[in-house]
């Protein structure tokens, strides 16, 4: 495997209530092309900050050190990521995201070229062999001269709460079509046709009707399916799901996880799955990264993390999980009615 992106010594600090908070402290981590990587941690661990940093969505006030280098399969060379410069390309409905990041000091990430060119030819072959609806389908003209990853085109992002990530006054079909039109250089009719196909791919019933539905007419699980359809509309190489199933009940959560697994496999996407739930992450991930208080505590193959965790904190997370085979707390206390 080759690295799709390489995070080196990444630190992020925010000011909150006048106090500076270190959200990430010197994170170094490679994300392999085509892998499913889970990033887990409790509240305040920095897992969402890491996801936002990778997507170039950090708030403009965040202080960022370190770098994120990308190996983009099309170009055959490594490129550093310059998130602020690409933000104007995201869809007009997401203007509030663009403006909040405008002028971000993240440009400090875009220093220098990485020297990973030796691995590139292998990567190109791998990606073109695996990708059908993804990167290879893109019109090179739409990619343009900017070879750094573009949010929406190269990176799809699914948030926890689809009610706040979808526009409440725009039909969902248009929200999906807009992504395809913006990044794939399609006409509106072509983009709507693609949106209908995508609604079918995320298993929403009656795509023709659903295209014209507004978010409030859909259930939480259906809205998250729409958000996933929009996230993959331009055939991104990387899908980031940040607690994307945490607000859903367990049955819908299992369905959405199955959907993400299928789409990632079919399109040959790389997946970064952010979760507080180690058991859920383990059902999906090839590797698991454990974060705590902004530090990378442990990174390993899922099997190793579950069965031979090296760090005491990972063990404590595993022990705190209350599964259907765990010893009931009732018994541990010897209590009974």
Partner 1 sequence: MTVLAVSNLAKRYRRGGKAFAAVDDVSFEIGPAETLALAGPSGSGKSTIARLVLRLIEPDAGRVAFEGADFLALSGAALRARRARLQMVFQDPLAAFNPRATVAGVLGDPLRIHGIAPRAERPRRIAALLERVGLDAGLAVRAIHEISGGQRQRVAIARAIATRPSLIVLDEAVSALDVSVRGQILELLLDLQRQERIAYLFISHDLGVIRAVAHRVIILDAGRIAESGDARAVIANPRSAIGKALVAATPRLTRNRP
Nearer to partner 1, 147 or 306 (CB): 306
Site for partner 1 in 157-196 (CB under 8 A): none
At closest approach, how far in Å is the CB of 272 from partner 1? Answer: 18
Structure letter (DSSP) for residue 308: S
Helices 220-231 and 188-201 pack at an angle, to 10 degrees, of 130
At closest approach, how far in Å is the CB of 291 from partner 1? Answer: 13
Among 128, 185, 252, 266, binds partner 1 (CB under 8 A): 252
Residue with the two structure tokens 């063990």: 315
The H or E element containing residue 332 is: helix 329-332
Site for partner 1 in 286-325 (CB under 8 A): 306-307, 316-318, 320-325
At closest approach, how far in Å is the CB of 133 from partner 1? Answer: 28
Binding of partner 1 by 264 (CB under 8 A)? no
Six-digit token string for 172: 């969902």
* Total count of residues recorded for the chain: 337
Nearer to partner 1, 86 or 204 (CB): 204
3-class SS letters over 249-298:
CHHHHHHHHHHHHHHHHHHCCEEEEEECCHHHHHHHCCEEEEEECCEEEE
Binding of partner 1 by 328 (CB under 8 A)? yes
Among 180, 278, 285, 296, binds partner 1 (CB under 8 A): 278
Kindly write down the DSSP assignment for every residue of 24-82, as one continuous string. Answer: EEEEEEEEETT-EEEEE--TTSSHHHHHHHHHT---TT-EEEEEEEEEETTTTEEEE--
At closest approach, how far in Å is the CB of 282 from partner 1? Answer: 6
Catalog residues that contact partner 1 under the rule CB under 8 A: 42-43, 220, 248-254, 276-280, 282-283, 306-307, 316-318, 320-326, 328-330, 333, 335, 337
């Amino acid at each position: 495997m080759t690295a799709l992106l390489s995070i080196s010594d990444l630190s992020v600090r925010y000011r909150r209530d006048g106090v500076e908070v270190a959200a990430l402290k010197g994170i170094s981590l490679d994300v392999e092309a085509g892998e499913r990587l889970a990033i887990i941690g409790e509240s305040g661990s920095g897992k969402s900050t890491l996801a936002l940093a990778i997507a170039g969505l950090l708030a403009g006030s965040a202080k960022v050190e370190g770098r994120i280098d990308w190996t983009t399969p099309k170009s055959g060379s490594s490129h550093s990521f310059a998130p602020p410069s690409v933000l104007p390309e995201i869809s007009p409905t997401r203007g509030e995201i663009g403006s909040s990041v405008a002028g971000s000091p993240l440009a400090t990430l875009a220093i220098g070229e990485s020297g990973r060119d030796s691995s590139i030819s292998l990567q190109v072959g791998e990606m073109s062999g695996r990708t059908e609806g993804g990167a290879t389908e893109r019109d090179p003209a739409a990619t343009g001269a900017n070879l750094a990853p573009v949010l929406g085109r190269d990176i799809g992002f699914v948030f926890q709460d689809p009610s706040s990530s979808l526009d409440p006054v725009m039909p969902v079909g248009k929200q999906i079509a807009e992504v395809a039109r913006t990044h794939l250089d399609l006409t509106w009719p072509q983009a709507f046709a693609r949106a209908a196909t995508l609604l079918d791919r995320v298993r929403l019933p009656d795509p023709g009707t659903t295209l014209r539905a507004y978010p409030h007419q859909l259930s939480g699980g259906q809205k998250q399916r729409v958000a996933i359809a929009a996230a993959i509309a331009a055939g991104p190489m990387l899908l980031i799901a940040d607690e994307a199933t945490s607000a859903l009940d367990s049955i819908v959560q299992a369905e959405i996880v199955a959907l993400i697994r299928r789409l990632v496999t079919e399109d040959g996407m790389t997946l970064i799955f952010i979760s507080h739930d180690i058991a859920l992450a383990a059902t999906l991930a090839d590797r698991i990264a454990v974060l705590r208080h902004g530090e990378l505590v442990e990174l390993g193959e899922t099997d190793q993390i579950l069965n031979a965790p090296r760090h005491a904190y990972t063990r404590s997370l595993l022990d705190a999980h209350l599964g259907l085979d765990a010893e009931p707390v009732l018994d541990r206390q010897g209590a009974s009615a």
